[in-house]
Structure formats: C-alpha cells, structure tokens
C-alpha cells in the first residue's frame, strides 16, 4: 500500500475506526498524490521568476488560447476556465457550496461537515462514492422504484448487491417501515449496509415528509446503535424543489450527520438541477460523521481519498463549469432568480394536481403521491405502459417514459403550465384507444 494511503488510514482509524472498516478495499488504498501536483502547487506560490511545472501551455505569461475558443466566453478570464481546476475543485466554489449547505439545511447548525469535493455532476458523485465506499458483494438498500442508473453504477460496475423494498407504504407515503425492515433483515447477515436515499425522488416526484424523515433517522440511528455499520448516502439531485408544507425542506443528511459513530452520512448533490445547468457537470461529495480528536484532520483524510479518486478517474471536473457556478452563486440576483424558476415549477406541480383531481381519469389510472422535484407517475389500470407510450408517440406525438408494465412517468419540469391539461387529456385518449 502507498505510504500516503497508510498515513490517511491511520488518521481515519484514530478518529473513528468504524469508518476505516466501511471504506471499500479501493477506498483504503486511495490517497492524494504528492508528486507533480504538490510540486506545481508549491511552484505556484514561490516560482516568481519562471514556473516550468504545469502541464499547460503559456505565452507571454498568459494562458495560451485560440481566439475561436476564448471568443465564446466573455465574462470569465481564460485563467479561470482554460486552465485545469484542482482535483478537489476550485477552493472558492468548495467554500461557497459548503456555506450554502448550512443555509439550506438549518439542522446542520453546530454540526461539522467536510469541505465538499467537486466532481463532474451527480452521476459522477455516485460513481466516486461507489469507488471509495462500495466493495463487490456489499449490500445497498434502494427502493424498487428508483433512478435506473443506480443499477448500472452499483450493480453492474461495482458488483454490489442491490436490495429492494417498496417505495410507497400501503397508506401512500414513504415506506419507512419497509426500509427499516429491509435494513434490519440485511443487518442479520451484513456488518456494513449502504442505504441510498433520494428525495425529491426520481421517478415518483415524492419528497419525504418531516415526520417520515424523523422516523427514518431514528430507525437508522437505532440500527447503527445495535452495531451495524451504516453508510447513509443521500442523492439530493433535486434538492430545493419542494412544493408542499409538510415536506422536509432540508436534506436527510442534516438529520443523520454526526448522530452515531457507526453511521456515516454522505451527501451527493450538485448544481445540475439546483441551478438549471445540466450540461455544466458540477457536483459535490460531502461527508458528515462522528469522530474523536481532530475533526479537521479526519475530514481532510476523507477529502484526500475522494479527490485522489477523482484524480485517478477524470483528473478534475470542468474548470469552466465550476467558475460559472461560483460566479452565479456570488451574484446579487442568484436567490431571486432561483426563486423565480422554483415558482414556475411549483405552479406546474399544482396544476398537475388540479388536473388529475378530475374524476374523469379514474377508470384509466391511479396517481402516485407526489409533492416535489421534476416528475410524477401514474399507474395504468388496464393497458400496458410501454404499449401506451409507443401509441402516444406514434399517434399523438406525445413522449413519456414507461417504467415496468404499469407505470408512466411524466416530467412536468419540461411542460409549460398551459399545456398540462391537454397533456393528460391526450394520455387519456390514447389509453381509451387501447383499452377500447
């Protein structure tokens, strides 16, 4: 094992030996390389005369550039987007995102969290999380309704065993009892369990209520207290898009952070949906856990392993993307602009609810509870979902996503409010064409 990895493992073991146990074999071997990166960083501070360390091209002391490239970017200096970003992400953005986590999650007050490590979008955050924490054969508990890419990352690429429970409880909310009994069942034969929680949820558009969130936190803390090592990983891709009063308006991360030494909370989030920048590819990995001793040193060790993993994967996330996001977060109109877009999406969600309250659709489908995010789902009564999807596309030019035999997912995030009534009327007409 590399001596730097050994050193980090010793720091982690000293702060909380359970967290060292939770690391994947790859995670245990990860470290942040010194070599070229450290020497370059040192030279950046001290090489005032000639700095011949960096793997970029310079000209007259400036970043070499093609006008045909830099001509497309007017408000950011070439040095802030043509050059490499650090593997950790640019310092200002990491600090600003951390600050925003405290603002968006009041329950984090007085808790210590790591400095977020920047990755290339939330998919990459999940992938890096899996590299650092998931061994082949590890069990990961995820509801059966889920974003399909989890299977690709955890099941196919990392050979973890995905263990399912029903997303909804029989009474229609989040299935807290189902989650708890699945984790308890797995805890009988597994020392370490990874629990993935995604709210607002893809595909249902359901966000956990405050009372459900408290029950989930209580159950996971209790199971951790009984001796199981729990890694609770939050995919907060749609964070902030909460449309109803009783919904938890912060991340479950805040309720699980530093609650028990056997419980590691990991927050995966990003600017992708929070700032409407799907193609910029800026995501974050942030840790919250209980340790003894020097907390800053401990988190620094986790950050080094995570950034080392980024270094060995994509080297670093888009500098342009990071600079744009940082600039936007510091803009005086940032909060106002976000509120305006939130209001549009909230109005659409309310309109979908109002349209679907009409009893005329009730012979065709049931509506799954939704209160957040981009999506909602309907459960068809007597028509196959894929057949209806294809029929709607061919006959009416309407595109939806079919999930399994029964469910259709509607992304109201991309349908203007004025078109929502017509959308569901067409779905109903298509249903009737097939149902007879």
Ligand X SMILES: Cc1ncc(COP(=O)(O)O)c(C=O)c1O
Stretch that binds ligand X, among 57-65, 70-78, 116-124, 358-366 (CB under 6 A): 116-124
- Contacts to ligand X from residues 191-220, by CB under 6 A: 198, 202
Among 138, 235, 250, 274, binds ligand X (CB under 6 A): 235
Stretch that binds ligand X, among 51-59, 256-264, 270-278, 401-409 (CB under 6 A): 270-278
Q: Shortest distance, CB of residue 310 to ligand X, whole angstroms?
A: 14
Which residues make beta-bridge pairs with 402? 408
Q: Shortest distance, CB of residue 271 to ligand X, whole angstroms?
A: 8
Q: Shortest distance, CB of residue 411 to ligand X, whole angstroms?
A: 10
Stretch that binds ligand X, among 4-12, 27-35, 79-87, 117-125 (CB under 6 A): 117-125
The sheet with strand 401-403 has its strands ordered as: 365-367, 375-380, 407-411, 401-403
Per rule CB under 6 A, is residue 122 in the interface with ligand X?
yes
CB 19 within 8 A of CB 264: yes
- Nearest Cα to 160, choosing from 133, 189, 197, 199? 133
Looking at the Cβ atoms of 53 and 413, the one nearer to ligand X is 413
Q: Shortest distance, CB of residue 279 to ligand X, whole angstroms?
A: 9
Per rule CB under 6 A, is residue 322 in the interface with ligand X?
no
Per rule CB under 6 A, is residue 272 in the interface with ligand X?
yes
Q: Shortest distance, CB of residue 149 to ligand X, whole angstroms?
A: 7
Among 27, 89, 116, 121, binds ligand X (CB under 6 A): 121
Stretch that binds ligand X, among 56-64, 68-76, 120-128, 294-302 (CB under 6 A): 120-128
Among 15, 86, 261, 270, binds ligand X (CB under 6 A): 270
- Nearest Cα to 326, choosing from 122, 311, 317, 305? 317
Which residues make beta-bridge pairs with 410? 376
Among 237, 248, 310, 378, binds ligand X (CB under 6 A): 237
Stretch that binds ligand X, among 40-48, 119-127, 240-248, 334-342 (CB under 6 A): 119-127
Per rule CB under 6 A, is residue 283 in the interface with ligand X?
yes
- Contacts to ligand X from residues 137-166, by CB under 6 A: 147
**How many residues line the site for ligand X (CB under 6 A)?**
12
Q: Which residues bind ligand X (CB under 6 A)?
A: 121-123, 147, 198, 202, 235, 237, 270, 272, 278, 283
């Amino acid at each position: 094992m590399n001596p730097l990895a050994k050193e980090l493992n010793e720091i982690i073991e000293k702060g909380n030996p359970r967290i060292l146990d939770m690391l994947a074999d790859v995670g245990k071997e990860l470290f942040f390389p010194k070599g070229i990166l450290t020497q370059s960083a040192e030279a950046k501070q001290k090489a005032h005369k000639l700095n011949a360390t960096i793997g970029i091209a310079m000209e007259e002391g400036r970043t070499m550039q093609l006008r045909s490239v830099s001509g497309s970017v007017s408000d950011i200096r070439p040095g802030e987007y043509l050059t490499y970003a650090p593997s950790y992400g640019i310092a200002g953005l990491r600090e600003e995102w951390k600050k925003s986590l405290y603002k968006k999650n009041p329950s984090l007050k007085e808790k210590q969290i790591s400095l977020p490590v920047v990755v290339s979008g939330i998919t990459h955050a999940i992938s890096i999380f899996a590299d650092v924490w998931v061994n082949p054969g590890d069990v990961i508990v995820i509801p059966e309704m889920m974003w399909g890419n989890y299977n690709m990352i955890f099941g196919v690429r990392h050979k973890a065993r995905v263990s399912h429970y029903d997303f909804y409880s029989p009474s229609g909310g989040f299935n807290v009892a189902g989650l708890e009994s699945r984790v308890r069942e797995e805890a009988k034969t597994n020392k370490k369990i990874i629990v993935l929680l995604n709210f607002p949820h893809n595909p249902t558009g359901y966000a956990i209520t405050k009372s459900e969130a408290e029950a989930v936190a209580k159950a996971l803390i209790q199971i951790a207290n009984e001796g199981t090592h729990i890694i609770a990983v939050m995919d907060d891709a749609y964070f902030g898009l909460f449309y109803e009063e009783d919904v938890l308006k912060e991340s479950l991360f805040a309720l699980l952070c530093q609650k028990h030494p056997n419980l590691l909370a990991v927050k995966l989030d990003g600017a992708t949906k929070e700032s409407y920048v799907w193609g910029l590819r800026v995501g974050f990995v942030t840790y919250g856990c209980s340790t003894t001793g020097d907390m800053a040193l401990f988190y620094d060790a986790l950050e080094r392993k995570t950034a080392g993993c980024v270094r060995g994967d994509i080297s670093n996330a888009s500098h342009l993307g990071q600079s744009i996001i940082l600039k936007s977060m510091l803009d005086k109109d940032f909060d106002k602009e976000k509120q305006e877009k939130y209001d549009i999406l909230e109005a659409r969600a309310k309109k979908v609810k109002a349209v679907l309250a009409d009893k005329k659709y009730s012979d065709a489908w049931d509506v799954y509870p939704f209160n957040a995010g981009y999506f909602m789902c309907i459960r068809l009564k007597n028509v196959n979902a894929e057949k209806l999807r294809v029929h709607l596309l061919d006959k009416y030019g309407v595109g939806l996503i079919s999930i399994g035999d029964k469910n259709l997912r509607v992304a109201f995030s991309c349908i203007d409010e004025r078109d929502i009534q017509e959308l569901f009327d067409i779905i109903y007409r298509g249903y009737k064409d097939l149902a007879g």
